[in-house]
Amino acid sequence: MLIVLTVFAVAAVLLPVLEKALGRKIFLVAALVSLGAFAHTILLAPAVLSGETPSETLTWIAQLQLTLDVRMDALSWMLALIVTGVGSLVMLYCSRYFGPRDAGLGRFSAVLLAFAGAMYGLVIADDVYLLFILWEATSVFSYLLIGHYTNRRASRGAALQALITTTLGGLVMLVGLVLLAVQAGSSSLLVILQTAPADPLTTTAVMLVLVGALSKSAIVPLHFWLPGAMAAPTPVSAYLHAAAMVKAGIYLLARLAPAFVVVPGWREVLIVLGVATMLLGGWLALKQSDLKLLLAYGTVSQLGFLTVVTGFGSRDTALAALALLLGHALFKSTLFLVVGIVDHETGTRDLRKLSGLGRRAPALALVAGLALASMAGLPPLFGFVAKEAVLHGLLSAAGGTQVDGAGAIWAAVALAGVTLGSVLTVAYSIRFFWGAFARKPDVDDTVLLAERGVQSRRFLLAPAILAVAGLALGPLAGVADGPIAQAAGRFASGVDEGEIYHLALWHGLGPELGLSLVTIVLGALLFFARERVGRVQSRLSTGVNASDVYWDAVGAVDRLAARVTSITQRGSLPFYLGVILVVFVGVTTAGLLIGDSWPAEFRLWDTPAQLAIGIVMIIAAVAATQAQKRFAALVIVGVTGFGMSAIFALQGAPDLAITQVLVEVVTLIAFVLVLRRLPAKLGDRHGSTHRVLRAVIAIGVGTTVALVALIAAGSRIHDPISLAWPQLAYEIGHGRNVVNVALVDIRAWDTLGELAVVIAAATGVASLLFLRGRGDAPPRLARGVVQRRIASRLDRVREQGHDGEQRGAWILAGPTLDPRHRSILLEVVVRLTFHAVIVVSLYLLFAGHNLPGGGFAGGLVAGLALVGRYLAGGRYELGAALPLGAGFVLGAGLVIAASTAIVPMFLGAPPLTSTYWEAEVWLLGEVSFVTSTFFDIGVYLIVIGLVLDVLRSLGAEVDRQGGDDQSADRPAYSIMTKGGGA
Amino acid sequence: MTLSLVLIIVMAVLIAAGVYLVLERSLTRVVLGVLLMGNGVNLLMLSMAGPAGLAPLVIDGVEAEQYSDPLPQALILTAIVITFAVSAFLLALIYRSWRLANADDVSDDADDVALRGGEVTLPMEETAPDEGDTEFPLEAEVAQGGPGVDATERVVIVTDNDSSSAPEGGGGR
């Protein structure tokens, strides 16, 4: 059985591929798959009918005890036959229904087949979670099928409505199933049904499951999605909304009834809702003029009928329910298929426009007539057999057979309801036949779109088979009785073998036959009085229907969501930040006040110099908030940065002091590179608003953080973990600079993560500037060309003597610049210092393990050297200085850093383990080397890559785009013209 | 442990000034505010290192307590570099915003503002099951002598049968 499921899945995936080759014949492939499953199910008959239950188990997620358990008892077997059998006939029908060139047939056939597979799995699933997954899968496939005509608004709306309604029910059901599984201690349906504890929790769980079952089977008040779902192509309606999906709820009721019929409320809920649905559906079916909607409401009515009979839960009604279910699957899908043919061939389903079709298409009328007779419960059709069984079951229960006293009363209620409902059924069955096929005096004969259609054997084959099956099973009811009785046999305990009922066409004269006769006569009268009935209906019409209520509810949810959004999402970033910060202040302060720790000791300052620097920084910070010019503000903020550096130096943190100074310089340059394109004055458009409010929030946040610092310090009761670091660094990390060893060895994992952040930010910078691809391959000058050019220029200079316009070239790309923008002093300085600075950076990198420095500081120094080259010679000079892409440098750095993590793992050590070599080297004396230096080299490269990226993006690329701007006559602000040497 | 009051006050002022700037609409001020807050947070970490000490460069015979705490230093070092990387990113954002909109400010989200004014209508799918009585509207039209469409051409699937009759959109009923 699992293999059948697999075949369904694989075939569904393959079908769209075949669409081009096969066109609409693709449905024949799908039909074959479904037919194969049908044959497989038939082959299981001997085993199932002899009382075995073939079952298979496949462990899915062992840790969650999720298994793919399938079992096929008689109930599952019967439903599997319906699902696969009707499925293959509907697919056969599709191959004629759709046009050869219709769009989307591959997708449609695949979804239809997948639905068949899911439905097949649903009826044989033993694990409740598997059942739920397939249950929801059928909802999703139904959504896709209803919405097949994706360009029709009604289709999309109906699909969504069906999806929301059935998945909502499904979710409620899931809660119930989880409760049941937890109560029973197993997710196996078999075990749950055997345990079936009787306590309030189980009652709740069962009621929740009923919500799911009733929503799926379109029972009042969740019935409205089914008529809406008629927007689906008609074969879908025939299959999903008559034979298969809507039966899932009935199947679940039948599955649970033997164990849970004793649950308080089970019988009451199902009988009340079922009768209401049956009557409402039948009543509305009589109103419809669209044949398909007539059938849809008829289906709603029949589902109510099935709910009553299945939910009643005695042995005889269970037998009747299953017979009814089989009968309904046969006649209702036939009728839908007939409507499809009528629509296909005449271009309308409106019974007010159809006339005389019966004479033009006698075979079609015959097929429809058989199905309608079965639906109305006329002998000798199977529908009659089933209805006799229902009436018998309820009559005998009302007489006290197989049930207790309360059950007998409810049986009487149910009997009255279904009898009345059956009258309506008879009436709308006649109305259907009259509407589709009769010649109406005041309507012109319907024009056929193509004469061949109604005669097409292939088209008529599927409904004919289904109708004939319904006819044959009447006299052969004994054949059907075997499996159905066995499926109903789960009720048999305590029932006397002699008094059980068997399906048969003739049970002799009895009250059941009498009731049947009465319903038929009354139904026919109801039809003949249709004009009077119509007047009554229009008088009773309230103009309210459940679908409108649904849409009102959806609209209300939408409006509520919009209102909540408009209240909370003001669209203003300062507002959001303000809210976050106010919450931060409020919550943190409250937390601090509740706690009782307070710092024991203060000191005013570490050194008087700290006070002096602090005062400068405070002044700068306050001034920065008031600055009106971009560059001024930037420089003032820079003051606080240099102040930081001084504080670090005073505090005994030379690494930090060095790094801070370097970063401060690079930051200034990066700002200048960008700000040169912006107007000098800040806040041209939006002046500062809400100054007082912002100041209050700002002071609140500052004070809160200060409080946090005080209390955190006061709460400390342990020595810092880092007291062990100097020893660790020296003895294991083999470095004297504890901070550096911490970065590249002790806490190297953290550093690795931080490097990733740096790379992400650098990539972000590049991607904001280079719109198409990273595109940061450096612009290059061919070295030979440049050298020749310089040489020739030097020659000319020698010949002509000194000439201001023809300065010598100190750097490679100098001549590419506009002479007005060249600075000979800068060029000379860069020329003389570049290599020395690079050497210094390398020194910092390698000495950093024992002295202040390291990869971060070294990388920043090297970056500054590149900044110098760029400032002196522009983007070509930068390309000449480092002819590599920034992405390459970043990547190489990450690879090197990461490989120090990975390589030790190959050697059997934990990642990032470092080793140490020491050797005597000639001339240099004792040389030692730690492998964590490689990590530092990675850091070094990544920092260089970051600076390079900033220069290439914010420098060179902005230059290039700026050039474009000027040619396009857009205003460009330049540090040269506006900033005036700030 | 004791705290340096000067460090705490400077830290609080830096953070307050940073918050004040971050709440601005000018992106340049926002970035400067981020820098100030970054500095403030680094000071916060530094103040947790305790009193000034020796630089954490191991010298034989010096007790661990005499060094300045290296742990916050390692944290601050990476924080400095990351602050630079992030501000470079923010600068690129400013530049981009300037290029695209000629503005370096944070403007309100247009959709949110529109929603506040109630101007946004919610698109909504609706069903009308009784809309049309056939799946084959074009064929039916042809059969009834409608506009000349080749009857063999089954273009029904690509035709929206309600586009002409129903007005667009419709915000809720």
> Distance between CA atoms of A349 and A23, rounded to whole angstroms?
27
DSSP A181-219: HHHHTS-BHHHHHHH---SHHHHHHHHHHHHHHHHHTT-
Single out the residue of A418, A411, A377 nearest to residue A396, CA to CA.
Answer: A411
Going by their DSSP bridges, the two strands A916-921 and A925-930 should be labelled as: antiparallel
- What average pLDDT does the segment A255-267 reach? 91
Q: Which of residues 111-140 of B touch A (CB under 8 A)?
A: 111-113, 115-116, 118, 120, 122, 124-137, 139-140
Q: Check the CA dihedral A424-A428-A429-A430 and report its sign.
A: positive
Q: Is residue B96 part of a domain?
A: yes
Q: Is residue A930 classed as helix, strand or coil in its secondary structure?
A: strand
Q: Which of residues 847-886 of A touch B (CB under 8 A)?
A: 850-852, 856
Query: In this structure, what are the phi and psi dihedrals at residue A926, rounded to the nearest 5 degrees?
Result: -75, 120
The conformation of residue A975, written as its DSSP 8-state character, comes to I
Residue A140 gets the label, from left (phi > 0), alpha (psi -120 to 50) or beta, of alpha
Q: How confident is the model at residue B17 (pLDDT cuts 50, 70, 90)?
A: very high
What separation, in Å, do the N-terminal and C-terminal C-alpha atoms of chain A show?
Answer: 81
The rounded Cα A624 to chain-centroid distance in angstroms is 47
Q: Is residue B111 part of a domain?
A: no
- What average pLDDT does the segment A804-808 reach? 48
Number of CB pairs, chain A paired with chain B, less than 8 A apart: 443
- Contact between chains at A750 and B78 (C-beta distance less than 8 A): yes
Q: How far is A697 from chain B (nearest CA, A)?
A: 8
A762 to chain B, any CB pair closer than 8 A? The answer is: yes
- What average pLDDT does the segment A320-330 reach? 94
What's the confidence (pLDDT) of residue A520?
93
A979 to chain B, any CB pair closer than 8 A? The answer is: no
**Residues B12, B93: one domain?**
yes
- Contact between chains at A705 and B131 (C-beta distance less than 8 A): no
pTM higher than the cut 0.95: no
pLDDT at B168 over 50: no
Domain range spanning residue B75?
Answer: 5-55+67-102
Single out the residue of A516, A536, A285 nearest to residue A419, CA to CA.
Answer: A516
What's the confidence (pLDDT) of residue B163?
39
Q: How far is B104 from chain A (nearest CA, A)?
A: 8
Q: How far is A583 from chain B (nearest CA, A)?
A: 14
B90 to chain A, any CB pair closer than 8 A? The answer is: no
**Residues B21, B74: one domain?**
yes
- Contact between chains at B25 and A348 (C-beta distance less than 8 A): no
Give the containing element (helix H, strand E) for A565.
helix A546-568
- Decide which of A659 and A447 is more confident: A659
> Distance between CA atoms of A484 and A116, rounded to whole angstroms?
22
Q: Residue A566's closest chain B neighbor by CA? A: B116
**What are the pLDDT digits (tens) for B112-157?**
777 776 655 555 555 444 456 777 776 666 655 544 444 343 333 3
> Distance between CA atoms of A898 and A902, rounded to whole angstroms?
6
Give the containing element (helix H, strand E) for B2.
strand B2-4
What's the confidence (pLDDT) of residue B145?
54
DSSP A376-392: HT-TTSHHHHHHHHHHH
Q: Is residue B20 part of a domain?
A: yes
**What are the pLDDT digits (tens) for A817-849?**
666 677 788 888 888 899 999 999 999 998 888
Q: Is residue B108 part of a domain?
A: no
**Residues B80, B149: one domain?**
no
Q: Is residue B82 part of a domain?
A: yes
> Distance between CA atoms of A746 and A306, rounded to whole angstroms?
72
Q: Is residue B123 part of a domain?
A: no
Residue A910 gets the label, from left (phi > 0), alpha (psi -120 to 50) or beta, of beta
- The answer for residues whose C-beta is within 8 angstroms of residue A673's C-beta and 6 or more apart is A950, A951, A954, A955, A958, B91
Q: Quickly count: other Cβ atoms within 10 Å of residue A517's Cβ.
A: 10
**What are the pLDDT digits (tens) for A416-472?**
999 999 999 999 999 999 999 999 888 888 877 765 555 677 889 999 999 999 999
Q: Cα A448–A454–A459 angle (5° rounding)?
A: 135
Q: Which of residues 592-611 of A touch B (CB under 8 A)?
A: 599-607, 610-611
Q: How confident is the model at residue A794 (pLDDT cuts 50, 70, 90)?
A: low
Cβ atoms of B64 and A720 within 8 Å: the answer is: no
Which of A80-94, A582-596, B93-107 has the least mean pLDDT? B93-107
Q: How far is A290 from chain B (nearest CA, A)?
A: 6
Judging contacts by C-beta atoms under 8 Å, the chain B residues touching residue A447 are 143-144
pLDDT at A814 over 70: no
Judging contacts by C-beta atoms under 8 Å, the chain A residues touching residue B45 are none
Query: In this structure, what are the phi and psi dihedrals at residue A72, rounded to the nearest 5 degrees?
Result: -125, 95
**What are the pLDDT digits (tens) for A63-83?**
877 888 999 999 999 999 999
Q: How far is B95 from chain A (nearest CA, A)?
A: 6
Q: Is residue A822 classed as helix, strand or coil in its secondary structure?
A: coil
Judging contacts by C-beta atoms under 8 Å, the chain A residues touching residue B32 are 624, 633-634, 637
**Residues B11, B95: one domain?**
yes
**What are the pLDDT digits (tens) for A126-140?**
999 999 999 999 999
Please report, for residues A644, B35, B87, the alpha-carbon distance to residue A664 in angstroms, rounded to integers and kept in the order given: 10, 10, 11
pLDDT at B161 over 70: no
Q: How far is B147 from chain A (nearest CA, A)?
A: 15
B159 to chain A, any CB pair closer than 8 A? The answer is: yes
- Contact between chains at B40 and A750 (C-beta distance less than 8 A): no
Q: How confident is the model at residue A781 (pLDDT cuts 50, 70, 90)?
A: low
Q: Is residue B12 part of a domain?
A: yes
Mutate to test the interface with B, among A452, A739, A960 (most CBs of B within 10 A): A739
Residues in chain A: 982
Residue with token string 């706690």? A595
pLDDT at A290 over 60: yes
Q: Which of residues 335-354 of A touch B (CB under 8 A)?
A: 343-344, 346-350, 353
Please report, for residues A159, A218, A736, B153, the alpha-carbon distance to residue A162 in angstroms, rounded to integers and kept in the order given: 5, 10, 71, 32
Q: Residue A946's closest chain B neighbor by CA? A: B85
**What are the pLDDT digits (tens) for A693-729?**
999 999 999 999 998 888 888 888 888 888 889 988 8
Residue with token string 């009354």? A522
- Contact between chains at B105 and A344 (C-beta distance less than 8 A): no
Q: Check the CA dihedral B7-B13-B19-B22 and report its sign.
A: negative
Q: Which of residues 55-84 of B touch A (CB under 8 A)?
A: 55-59, 62, 64-65, 67-71, 73-74, 76-78, 80-84
What's the confidence (pLDDT) of residue A498?
65
A156 to chain B, any CB pair closer than 8 A? The answer is: yes
> Distance between CA atoms of A830 and A835, rounded to whole angstroms?
9
**Residues B33, B77: one domain?**
yes
Closest to B92 (Cβ–Cβ): which among A605, A654, A765? Answer: A765
Q: Quickly count: other Cβ atoms within 10 Å of residue A980's Cβ.
A: 9
- Contact between chains at A674 and B99 (C-beta distance less than 8 A): no
For residue A380, say if its preceding peptide bond is cis, omega within 30 degrees of 0. Answer: yes
Residue with token string 């993560």? A753
Q: How confident is the model at residue A810 (pLDDT cuts 50, 70, 90)?
A: low
**Residues B73, B150: one domain?**
no
Residue with token string 């904001």? A768
Residue with token string 């990198």? A845
Q: Residue A709's closest chain B neighbor by CA? A: B44
Q: How far is A758 from chain B (nearest CA, A)?
A: 6
> Distance between CA atoms of A873 and A543, rounded to whole angstroms?
81
Q: What is the CATH number of the domain that holds B22?
A: 1.10.287
Q: How confident is the model at residue A347 (pLDDT cuts 50, 70, 90)?
A: confident
Q: How far is B169 from chain A (nearest CA, A)?
A: 10
pLDDT at B162 over 60: no
- Decide which of B153 and A855 is more confident: A855
> Distance between CA atoms of A810 and A63, rounded to whole angstroms?
71
Which of A20-24, A678-682, A788-792, A874-878 has the least mean pLDDT? A788-792
**Residues B24, B85: one domain?**
yes
B152 to chain A, any CB pair closer than 8 A? The answer is: no
Q: Cα A294–A298–A304 angle (5° rounding)?
A: 155
**Residues B77, B10: one domain?**
yes
**What are the pLDDT digits (tens) for B35-79?**
999 999 999 999 888 888 888 888 888 888 888 899 999 999 999
pLDDT at B170 over 50: no
Domain boundaries, chain A: 1-126, 261-493+502-528, 531-566, 570-682+692-714, 783-965
pLDDT at B169 over 60: no
- What average pLDDT does the segment A207-221 reach? 93
Judging contacts by C-beta atoms under 8 Å, the chain A residues touching residue B43 are 644, 647
Highest mean predicted confidence (pLDDT) among A583-587, A590-594, A913-917: A583-587
What's the confidence (pLDDT) of residue A443?
84
Looking at the structure of chain B, the number of domains it has is 2
- Contact between chains at A644 and B43 (C-beta distance less than 8 A): yes
- Decide which of B153 and A32 is more confident: A32
Judging contacts by C-beta atoms under 8 Å, the chain B residues touching residue A617 are 10, 13-14
B149 to chain A, any CB pair closer than 8 A? The answer is: no
Q: Is residue B113 part of a domain?
A: no
Q: How confident is the model at residue A599 (pLDDT cuts 50, 70, 90)?
A: low
pLDDT at A598 over 80: no
- The answer for residues whose C-beta is within 8 angstroms of residue A134's C-beta and 6 or more apart is A118, A119, A121, A122, A125
Cβ atoms of A939 and A756 within 8 Å: the answer is: no
Which of A672-686, A705-719, A958-972 has the least mean pLDDT? A958-972
- Contact between chains at A652 and B118 (C-beta distance less than 8 A): no
Cβ atoms of A41 and A57 within 8 Å: the answer is: no
pLDDT at A858 over 50: yes
Q: How confident is the model at residue A50 (pLDDT cuts 50, 70, 90)?
A: confident
Where do the H-state alpha helices sit in A770-885? Answer: 783-800, 824-847, 855-881
Average pLDDT value for chain A: 86
> Distance between CA atoms of A229 and A209, rounded to whole angstroms?
23
> Distance between CA atoms of A847 and A858, rounded to whole angstroms?
10
**What are the pLDDT digits (tens) for A516-544?**
999 999 999 999 988 888 888 888 877 77
The DSSP bridge partners found for residue A840 are: none
Judging contacts by C-beta atoms under 8 Å, the chain A residues touching residue B132 are 154
B101 to chain A, any CB pair closer than 8 A? The answer is: no
> Distance between CA atoms of A646 and B39, rounded to whole angstroms?
13
ipTM metric: 0.75
Cβ atoms of A180 and A196 within 8 Å: the answer is: no
Q: Residue A156's closest chain B neighbor by CA? A: B125
- Contact between chains at B57 and A562 (C-beta distance less than 8 A): no
Query: In this structure, what are the phi and psi dihedrals at residue A920, rounded to the nearest 5 degrees?
Result: -90, 120
